[in-house]
Amino acid sequence: MSTDDPKAPESVGTTEGQIAVHWREEESFQPSAAFVAQANLTDPAVNERFAEKNFPQCFIEYADMLDWTQRWTTVLDTEDPPFWKWFTGGQLNASYNCVDRHLAQHKNKAALIVVPEPEDEEPITLTYQELYVRVNEFAALLRDFAGLKKGERVTIHMPMVAELPVAMLACARLGVVHSVVFGGFSGEACGMRAADSGSRVLIYMDGYHRGGKMIDHKASAEIAVATAEMEGQSIDKILVWRRYPGKYCSATPMVKGRDFFVDEVIGNYRGVRVEPEAMESEDPLFLMYTSGTTGKPKGCQHRTGGYLAYVTGTSKYIQDIHPEDVYWCMADIGWITGHSYIVYGPLSLAATSVIYEGVPTYPDAGRVWRIAERLDVNIFHTSPTAIRMLRKAGPLEPQKYHYHFKHMTTVGEAIEPEVWKWYYHVVGKDEAVIVDTYWQTENGGFLCSTKPAMDPMKPGSAGPGVPGIYPCILDEQGNELPAGTAIAGNICIRNPWPGIIQTVWGDRDRFVRQYYSKYCKNPASKDWRDWPYFAADGAVLSADGYFRILGRVDDVINVAGHRLGTKELESACLTVEEVAEAAVVPVADDIKGRVPDIYVSLKPGYAPVREIEEKIIATIEAMIGKIARPRKVWIVADMPKTRSGKIMRRVLAAISNTLDTGDTSTLANPDIVEQIRQHVQGNQKLEAKDGPEDLKTFGKEE
């Protein structure tokens, strides 16, 4: 399959509504003999075992990697489509599988190594025995001090510290459903999510180091409580871990009777052991909120048995994790990548998982490589954004350090072939195999990736479906596009799999509408073949079966590998008193991939002044978080609109990215387009560029 002679894929005529793609085929790279010799998955029989004719039984291979207190009776229950159920009748506990079961052989082995951002603070190691003790004691505290019971929800708003996985695993031990909110999100975002999930207890941290500063994290708790209360959810207790036990590093007062320092209370539970709850396979394990196409984030509800089986299996086969590996995923635990591939997958396999508190380039461009060298990390997992950032900060830095990766992962957005090659040659020193893993919060684990010891790597392409996942490309009418045509369509997964969410928390209709309505062949059918999963990403399939992902087809902006709902940002803008209308569009950014550009028009009587721009930026940071900080706020006289009054975000996106605005003559107010263009691009007429597909097609549905 080597493509030493790269040539453009065969181009065929495209009809309206189809997107032609003009990428040339990239040269492919082979995994090294040394990697293959030690890999978990090398037997070509895997393709046969996980072939469609063996579905769904093929996934027993993953379920068998876990310890069950009661074995399942049914692998896949399709009685209530598309609410698929996995391994029903089975019982297990995720905390037991990630901790207790390793004690016999690995109790003295590092489970977690936590690297504080200040370089003069030593890394902290928790052995499996130590993790076991801490999880039990905190579980006892949650049960006996906070009164939490199986099935209740708890919202966790914490940075990258050991106490975060301890809290998650303690919840899992009790069957309490955790909902972790990314530490960088605001108090409001936390409060909204706490209210939606019905959490009465918050787990917090007082502060943490980031970019050389101590962040007062607890300050956001008051806002979280007030927001939750406004949404009708009261918060009884806030359990506050201290970054330095005994030394409170937040300026906000503790509220008597509501806020408690964990380090003060936990002493009462010293040595207490909590029996892991026997959870039904289908009992929810956690919620993870993600942006959708409407303003309100969706609570992605993940199941216990199927999820844990899926992340364990893919961690073993795709991440190639062995118990003796030192594995470092730089994602934040507050995103799904961190849940699946820092906490649950690696710990289930008894690996050593590294957690880094701070900014990758702090205090300098060598920090990441020093950590890798010191801990002898051999599996490294990060995003294109971080890779671009590290490349910009120190393109030759990795060669100064004596670390050796056998395996590297990229995840979160498409990686440009140029950036992939730097990752491979410079970071990986031509030794490490790379997997480009394509998946989503809703999926639990990987959808597409090469099998690291078996498939050639192709820069920019995620690869084929992973074992047991059968993706396809459908056009708008639901016809399958054949491989190698260079026509883009919607990537869909033809079959259910154990890692997929059970539902959107509290909103079954939204689950069906978002992922299944578009392509369901027969709503009355109980045959999974009639229910392809719609991922809402554009993709092309090349002749060799590799999928190349183009980006979101709905109005979600992927900033630094994380989804932000444009609607969510627009709603935030509209809370600013002066703002009448807001439209948010993605702009290409060298580091983050995409960043938001914000267009607002003002209510009558307000002048377009700088203070309003600043107010909007501050509001977005407060309501959503710094990650959503826009490139620019443009105050415009009016928005380009259709005759029915819809804002044409596609036109604004074209202006922000200097692309062709297309035909605007049918707009209600065509003159505004040139006015806005001059405002944004200046007086001289700029030549429209060719841009990436997702920007060219952004907002096209409107």
Judging by DSSP bridges, how do beta strands 85-88 and 74-77 pair with one another?
antiparallel
Sign of the alpha-carbon dihedral angle for 326, 327, 332, 333 = negative
Ramachandran angles phi, psi of 349, nearest 5°: -95, 10
Q: Counting contacts by CB under 6 A, is residue 182 touching ligand WT7?
A: no
Least distance CB 247 / ligand WT7 (angstroms): 35
User: What is the CB neighbour count within 10 angstroms for residue 41?
Assistant: 16
- CA 70 to CA 277: how far, in whole Å? 12
- CA 286 to CA 304: how far, in whole Å? 8
Using the minimum distance from each CB to ligand WT7, give the nearer residue, 161 or 318: 318
- Quick one: which of 91, 290, 312, 514 contacts ligand WT7 (CB under 6 A)? 290
> Of 495, 440, 528, 74, whose CA–CA distance to 281 is shortest?
74
For the segment 453-472, give every residue that binds ligand WT7 (CB under 6 A).
462
Using the minimum distance from each CB to ligand WT7, give the nearer residue, 292 or 358: 292
> Of 277, 275, 278, 283, whose CA–CA distance to 305 is shortest?
283
> Of 183, 264, 257, whose CA–CA distance to 224 is shortest?
183
- Quick one: which of 250, 409, 441, 657 contacts ligand WT7 (CB under 6 A)? 441
Backbone torsion region of residue 232, taken as left when φ is above 0, otherwise alpha when ψ lies between -120 and 50, otherwise beta: left
Binding segment for ligand WT7 (CB under 6 A), chosen from 16-24, 58-66, 302-310, 546-554, is 546-554
- Quick one: which of 440, 502, 514, 661 contacts ligand WT7 (CB under 6 A)? 440
Sign of the alpha-carbon dihedral angle for 587, 588, 590, 591 = positive
Using the minimum distance from each CB to ligand WT7, give the nearer residue, 155 or 437: 437
- Quick one: which of 136, 353, 558, 656 contacts ligand WT7 (CB under 6 A)? 558
Least distance CB 559 / ligand WT7 (angstroms): 10
- CA 520 to CA 530: how far, in whole Å? 6
Q: Counting contacts by CB under 6 A, is residue 436 touching ligand WT7?
A: yes
For the segment 652-691, give every residue that binds ligand WT7 (CB under 6 A).
none
Q: Counting contacts by CB under 6 A, is residue 537 touching ligand WT7?
A: yes
- Quick one: which of 551, 625, 630, 699 contacts ligand WT7 (CB under 6 A)? 551
Number of amino acids touching ligand WT7 (CB under 6 A): 23
Using the minimum distance from each CB to ligand WT7, give the nearer residue, 503 or 601: 503
User: What is the CB neighbour count within 10 angstroms for residue 261?
Assistant: 16
Ramachandran angles phi, psi of 255, nearest 5°: -95, 125
Least distance CB 699 / ligand WT7 (angstroms): 16
Using the minimum distance from each CB to ligand WT7, give the nearer residue, 343 or 655: 343
Q: Is-contact 325 452, C-beta < 8 A? A: no
Using the minimum distance from each CB to ligand WT7, give the nearer residue, 325 or 442: 442
Tokens encoding 310: 């899926």
Q: Counting contacts by CB under 6 A, is residue 437 touching ligand WT7?
A: yes
For the segment 369-428, give every residue that binds ligand WT7 (CB under 6 A).
411-414
- Quick one: which of 35, 145, 204, 439 contacts ligand WT7 (CB under 6 A)? 439
For the segment 516-535, give every residue that binds ligand WT7 (CB under 6 A).
535
Q: Is-contact 384 551, C-beta < 8 A? A: no
Least distance CB 315 / ligand WT7 (angstroms): 14
Using the minimum distance from each CB to ligand WT7, give the nearer residue, 154 or 411: 411
DSSP, collapsed to helix, strand or coil, labels residue 18 as coil
Ramachandran angles phi, psi of 207, nearest 5°: -165, 175
- Give the binding site for ligand WT7 (CB under 6 A): 290, 336-337, 411-414, 436-441, 462, 535, 537, 549, 551-552, 558, 561-563
